[in-house]
A and B are shown apart, each in its own frame.
Chain A
Amino acid sequence: MVSLLRNQKARNVLLQVLYVGSLAALVLAGVMIARRNLAEQGITSGFDFLYKSTGWDVNFSLLPATANDPYWWFFLIGIINTLFLGSVGLILATVVGTIVGLARTSSNELARLLGRTYVDIFRNIPLILQVFFWYAIITHLPTPRAAHEAWGMLLTSRGLYVPAPNVGGVAMALAILTVIAAVVLPVWLGRTSRLSQPIGKRLAIQLAGMAAALACAVLVLLVARLPDAPLLDFPALQGLNLKGGLRIPPEFSALAIAIAIYGGSYIAEIVRGGFKAIGKGQVEAALSMGLSPWRVFTLVKLPLALRAMLPILANQYVWLIKATTMGIAVGFTDFFMVVALTINHSGQTLEAIGILMAGFLTINLSLAAVFNRINKAIALKGNQLRG
């Protein structure tokens, strides 16, 4: 026995078996105890509950939802809400971050100071505090009767009311997809593999693609518009309540604003880092070729900075998506809140936690996969340009 313990190989095997074994035992014991405890409360384990109706409602959904819908439908709604809030927050944060980041790298001292102040303030205050703050601000807005009005939008304590096109849900989704295509298409059409074509021709192709996609969007909206109604539905006061238009609930706006501002301050730093990573020599070479500062920016600085930024940006985006779980603090039904409510109402604790983990793992992995693809596609070929 003693000699076995002194044997390196035996020791290695023993260590591994002990480690993996005790972990597995721990998890197994936990699951077994939990199952027994839950069984005592009359909860049978298994995923059958997914087909039962929930009996409770969600306060925000892009899909139709009632209390009669089954649990799996609510999980789907939760995931879609998370992704929706995540992408809105992500886009806004990227816009804010790019502007502030550019200000931080600009040659103008005042702009730099402004950008730096922004980053220093908003990076150093916890996101959840910012969420609470914006939520308090929005819910303290005037009631619908005394609403602020601006450009057909109404700001009230019940949410932001914006004009909405009078079209069905499917058509709306289609239109949104085509608008996204209008943004993505020019990028795809301008891939480096087409670099051999003259720049004017490339630009024309990109513009044509964008215009075509936008035209499709307009066409969809015009064709699918509801009969006997104006194309745009403006919100208006009727009695004590607001009718018409699209209501963006305070929970959603508070989260989106907070994520945009907080995420923006992080993305600004990433943008700044990306521009700092550009070799001086490459910029000088471009300037010495007589390119205008704007051309130097779009043709040299931006592409190089983007490549440097992308991996870190991917991490930040994953973080932002996870940050949507703060929705539960103000009552936005994201994926996590659906899970928490499920545990509260149905008691299917283990299953719900399992679904939660699987959901976030899937989101993370797919996001990572997408960014890896992009990264590979735009990575500098060979290694001549590093450093």
Chain B
Amino acid sequence: MISGNATESGGPAVRIENLDKYYGSFHALRKVNLSVERGERIVICGPSGSGKSTMIRCINRLEQHNGGRITVLGTELNDDVGNIDEIRREVGMVFQHFNLFPHMTVLENCMIAPMIVRKRPRTEAEATARRYLEKVRIPEQAMKFPGQLSGGQQQRVAIARALCMQPQIMLFDEPTSALDPEMIAEVLDVMVTLASEGMTMICVTHEMGFARRVADRVIFMDGGEIVEEAPPEEFFTSCRNERTRQFLSQVLGH
């Protein structure tokens, strides 16, 4: 495992206790509890609007929670600005719509954060960037702009960009759902490789094949709550909850 800097070793990677989140008066997350061990791979699924995105966005404080505790790598996520910065440095995120910076080349996209956030020298940042671009299998696109790439290529750049910060945890928010079917595979391949190297991953995805292959645990959310939580074999064969069964039959049905 690639280790970053000063965060406490030992203890879970992410611990969420009694998490509450409101959008105005709308209760988006209701007393959610979840603990993710280091090196563990979690897949979260659930119907639209169930609060999956909201939950993982709370982990790096893209959303501010209203109640409960979130502890990431031993650091509690609260109003302390220093903690927020520290956690964001150690947590990478990949978005549904890539969110690459369109005014920078692929290489610059990958270099900027290590250079200005981690203060790495340019040569080192470039070497790291090229290494990760190789890893996501698009080293030849380094000098292009995001607008000149296909969706699948863009998403792989986004993964490389997040990895260049050498995070300890990776969050994925539906990384393949904006892609055409033939591009989904290339992105999933990269994610499988990443998983095999021991990265702590929390993925929101409806790719059940991926869940079967790499997940240590699958979590089903509905109505802002975690309804079901089980290892994949158990989750797909013998889930207890009616809503989960309904959802699975829909997702696996076609």
Contact = CB atoms under 8 A, between A and B. Distances in A.
Are A and B direct contacts in the complex by CB distance below 8 Å? yes
Interface stretch (A2-10, A138-146, A232-240): A2-10
Contacts of B81: 6-8, 11
A3 B79 contact: no
B84 interface: yes
Contacts of B82: 6
A3 to B, nearest CB: 7
A3 B79 CA distance: 10
Interface in A5-36: 6-11
Contacts of A3: 80
Contacts of A10: 79
A10 B80 CA distance: 10
A9 B80 CA distance: 9
A6 B83 CA distance: 9
B134 to A, nearest CB: 38
Tell me what chain B mostly uses at the interface: helix, strand, loop, or mixed. Answer: helix
Interface string B82-96: 101000000000000
Contacts of A8: 79-81, 84
Contacts of B80: 3, 6-8
Interface in A209-266: none
A1 to B, nearest CB: 14
B77 to A, nearest CB: 11
Q: Give the size category of A's interface with B.
A: under 10
A325 B150 CA distance: 56
Contacts of A9: 79
B83 to A, nearest CB: 8
Nearest to B84: A8
Nearest to B61: A8
Nearest to B64: A8
A9 B82 CA distance: 13
Contacts of A11: 81
A7 B81 CA distance: 6
Contacts of B79: 7-10
A7 to B, nearest CB: 5
A7 B80 CA distance: 4
Most buried by B among A3, A6, A9: A6
B245 to A, nearest CB: 41
A17 B145 CA distance: 43
A135 B79 CA distance: 65
A35 B80 CA distance: 45
Interface in B66-123: 79-82, 84
A5 to B, nearest CB: 8
A145 B191 CA distance: 95
A362 to B, nearest CB: 36
A8 B87 CA distance: 15
A11 B79 CA distance: 10
Interface in A73-115: none
A383 B233 CA distance: 50
Nearest to A9: B79
B86 to A, nearest CB: 11
B207 to A, nearest CB: 36
B23 to A, nearest CB: 19
Nearest to A12: B79
Interface in B175-223: none
A15 to B, nearest CB: 12
Nearest to A10: B79
A7 B83 CA distance: 10
Nearest to A3: B80
A234 to B, nearest CB: 70
A11 B84 CA distance: 14
A10 B78 CA distance: 12
A14 to B, nearest CB: 12
Nearest to A11: B81
A8 B82 CA distance: 9
A3 B81 CA distance: 9
Contacts of A6: 80-82
A163 to B, nearest CB: 66
B71 to A, nearest CB: 17
B161 to A, nearest CB: 26
Interface in B29-44: none
A308 B80 CA distance: 50
B82 to A, nearest CB: 5
A10 B229 CA distance: 38
B60 to A, nearest CB: 14
Contacts of A7: 79-81
A6 B79 CA distance: 8
Q: Which of A8, A9, A11 has the most CB of B within 10 A?
A: A8
B247 to A, nearest CB: 35
A11 B81 CA distance: 9
A336 B84 CA distance: 53
A161 B78 CA distance: 78
Residue with the greatest number of chain A CB neighbours at <10 A, chosen from B79, B80, B84? B79
A3 B78 CA distance: 12
A6 B81 CA distance: 5
Contacts of B84: 8
Given A8-B84, A9-B79, A10-B79, 8 more contacts: A3-B80, A6-B80, A6-B81, A7-B79, A7-B81, A8-B80, A8-B81, A11-B81
Interface of A: 3, 6-11
14 contacts: A3-B80, A6-B80, A6-B81, A6-B82, A7-B79, A7-B80, A7-B81, A8-B79, A8-B80, A8-B81, A8-B84, A9-B79, A10-B79, A11-B81
The 6 closest A-B pairs by CB, nearest first: A8-B79, A7-B79, A9-B79, A6-B81, A6-B82, A6-B80
Interface of B: 79-82, 84
